[in-house]
Amino acid sequence: MTPSFNPRRACASAFRLATALGCGVALSALLLAVGPVAAQGPAKARAPAEPIITGGKPQRLIVNPTEDPSRGFAVTWRMEAGAGKGLVEYAEATPGPAFEDAVSTVMATSEVVQYAPRNGAPVSATAHSAVIDGLKPETLYVYRVGDGRTFSAWRQVRTAASTAKPFTFLYFGDVQNEVESHGSRVMRMARRLAPDAALALYAGDLINRSDADREWAEWFDMAPDLHAELLTLPSPGNHEYGPPVEGRQALAPQWRQQFTLPRNGPAGVEALSETVYQVDYQGVRFLSLDADAMSDHPELAEATLTWLQARLADNPNAWTVVFLHYPIYSTAKGRDNPELRAALEPVLQRYGVDLVLQGHDHTYARGRKGGPVYVVSVAGPKQYPAGQDDWASRKATGVQLFQAISVDGGELTYKAYTATGALYDAFRLSKPARGKPARLIDLAPKSDELNLRRAP
């Protein structure tokens, strides 16, 4: 297909790079002349930094995967407006502070950003983004961010192994509402019950109002340790998109300013940049789809399907996980997505996708249809009544959940826990060989002691 040109999205993109006059939410954005990201090798980084304007403490610190997470990771953060350059210091972790003698530095790409929310005061800040590359696989690194004088605490991130190896990842459905007050306990419980998790997937609707910067602040405040030390893979929901402008939904500018995600989605389709992407991690291919863009724009759906088929056809990994916001099979009345299902389901089945992780319906359901296991889940407090979930073998409403999913060779073990730490659902997929259909072993607790079915 011909890559689409979307003036609204081009505007959102230009927001990162230059003055964006005419954008509804953006007043202006000024790229600071710090040049491209560049590793600077082991340095005498302990030398006093040059004096520069400081902008308070680093905020909204997060690590995202690069295309090859065995060789690096991406770091994004924000400083108060008026801050100068941004830099990341990193080194192989040591048991004590000895790593400080071997610190390398990477300069961030930086931009001053301003928002005019529909409600609330204008916001101004400096957004920083850096990619750390050339690292050793399966190695624990320390890193910190700052402006040369003010730094975050040292954080630790482990690079992936370069081959298949057991690991655990987290999956969260919509958090969306009362993000810090209600969402954060789910995050803390996830950290407690899966302390070794390496990744955290979000299936959209991270926040409620796309342009409410204070909601984005809450999202970062709900789990600062998790964001700064687990590689985060977010997929956008409809609540990350603002009201239509010139007939197009606009992705919240915060998305591309606050996350640094692989730019390996459909080539040349800027509208899907950093919302559609692929990450291979220790034998699992993760594919994020932009469900809202697919549903609203046929040309973006076509571009996504072409890309998805290519990524599934050429896939050396034993396991494949697709995550997107709108469910292929819905759980709540009046929320069916027949066009999305018609477009995606044949592709997911044909190429043997194992697991499809979704959100949007503010209920829980898990079922298998023709190959893939489909899950709808919700991490936040907003809950809808169920009623259209006959496809599901396990379902709930009125409960906040998270998932810890472990992969070990030919076995994938899925566990869904409530905010109180109770195991609500579990199953195992067992594959005799790569490319063969997986056998599902149901491990869900037999008695539904939580009495979650059809709760009001």
Given the rule CB under 5 A, which of 162-170, 181-189, 205-213, 421-429 is the region that contacts Fe ion? 205-213
Q: Which of 111, 147, 174, 389 binds Fe ion (CB under 5 A)?
A: 174
Task: Give the whole-angstrom CA distance, residue 288 versus residue 286.
Answer: 7
User: Residue 201: beta bridge partners?
Assistant: 171, 233
Given the rule CB under 5 A, which of 1-9, 17-25, 107-115, 169-177 is the region that contacts Fe ion? 169-177
Query: What is the x/- site pattern for Fe ion, positions 343-372, by CB under 5 A?
Result: -----------------x------------
Given the rule CB under 5 A, which of 188-196, 201-209, 349-357, 408-416 is the region that contacts Fe ion? 201-209
Query: What is the x/- site pattern for Fe ion, positions 311-350, by CB under 5 A?
Result: ----------------------------------------
Given the rule CB under 5 A, which of 12-20, 55-63, 198-206, 403-411 is the region that contacts Fe ion? 198-206
User: Least distance to Fe ion from the beta carbon of 291, Å?
Assistant: 9
Task: Give the whole-angstrom CA distance, residue 310 versus residue 301.
Answer: 14
User: Least distance to Fe ion from the beta carbon of 426, Å?
Assistant: 24
Which of 169, 326 has the CB closer to Fe ion?
A: 326
Which of 352, 381 has the CB closer to Fe ion?
A: 381
Task: Give the whole-angstrom CA distance, residue 396 versus residue 419.
Answer: 13
Which of 335, 369 has the CB closer to Fe ion?
A: 335
Contacts 24+ apart (CB under 8 A), 277-281: 278/67, 278/311, 279/65, 279/67, 279/69, 279/231, 279/233, 280/67, 280/68, 280/69, 280/317, 281/65, 281/69, 281/160, 281/167, 281/169, 281/198, 281/199, 281/231
Q: Which of 139, 150, 177, 238 binds Fe ion (CB under 5 A)?
A: 238
Measured from the Cβ of residue 98, the count of other Cβ atoms closer than 10 Å reads 11
User: Least distance to Fe ion from the beta carbon of 349, Å?
Assistant: 24
Q: Which residue has the tokens 């000024």?
A: 30
Q: Which two tokens stand for residue 269?
A: 């389709």
Q: Which of 111, 147, 205, 229 binds Fe ion (CB under 5 A)?
A: 205
Task: Give the whole-angstrom CA distance, residue 218 versus residue 184.
Answer: 9
Closest CA to 57 of 76, 79, 85: 79
User: Least distance to Fe ion from the beta carbon of 238, Å?
Assistant: 4
Query: What is the x/- site pattern for Fe ion, positions 84-103, by CB under 5 A?
Result: --------------------
Which of 84, 380 has the CB closer to Fe ion?
A: 380
User: Least distance to Fe ion from the beta carbon of 174, Å?
Assistant: 4
User: Least distance to Fe ion from the beta carbon of 335, Å?
Assistant: 9
Using the rule CB under 5 A, is 242 a contact of Fe ion? Answer: no
Residue 34: φ, ψ to 5°: -105, -5
Which of 125, 179 has the CB closer to Fe ion?
A: 179
Number of residues forming the site for Fe ion (CB under 5 A): 6
User: Least distance to Fe ion from the beta carbon of 382, Å?
Assistant: 7
Q: Which of 237, 262, 265, 283 binds Fe ion (CB under 5 A)?
A: 237
- List, edge to edge, every strand of the sheet that includes 140-146: 39-42, 104-107, 87-92, 140-146, 155-158
Q: Which residues between 24 and 53 bind Fe ion (CB under 5 A)?
A: none
Q: Which two tokens stand for residue 327?
A: 């469910």
Given the rule CB under 5 A, which of 167-175, 185-193, 327-335, 439-447 is the region that contacts Fe ion? 167-175
Query: What is the x/- site pattern for Fe ion, positions 127-166, by CB under 5 A?
Result: ----------------------------------------
User: Least distance to Fe ion from the beta carbon of 28, Å?
Assistant: 30
By Cβ distance, which residue is nearest to Fe ion?
Answer: 205
Which of 325, 395 has the CB closer to Fe ion?
A: 325
- List, edge to edge, every strand of the sheet that includes 411-418: 231-234, 199-202, 167-172, 401-408, 411-418, 423-430, 439-442
Contacts 24+ apart (CB under 8 A), 137-143: 137/70, 137/71, 137/161, 137/162, 138/70, 138/162, 138/165, 139/92, 140/92, 140/93, 141/73, 141/90, 141/91, 141/92, 141/93, 142/90, 142/91, 142/92, 142/93, 142/99, 143/75, 143/88, 143/89, 143/90
Please give the helix or strand (H or E) that residue 284 lies within, else none. Answer: strand 284-288
- The CA-to-CA distance between both ends of the chain, in Å, stands at 46
DSSP helix/strand/coil, 239: helix
The binding site for Fe ion (CB under 5 A) comprises: 174, 176, 205, 237-238, 360
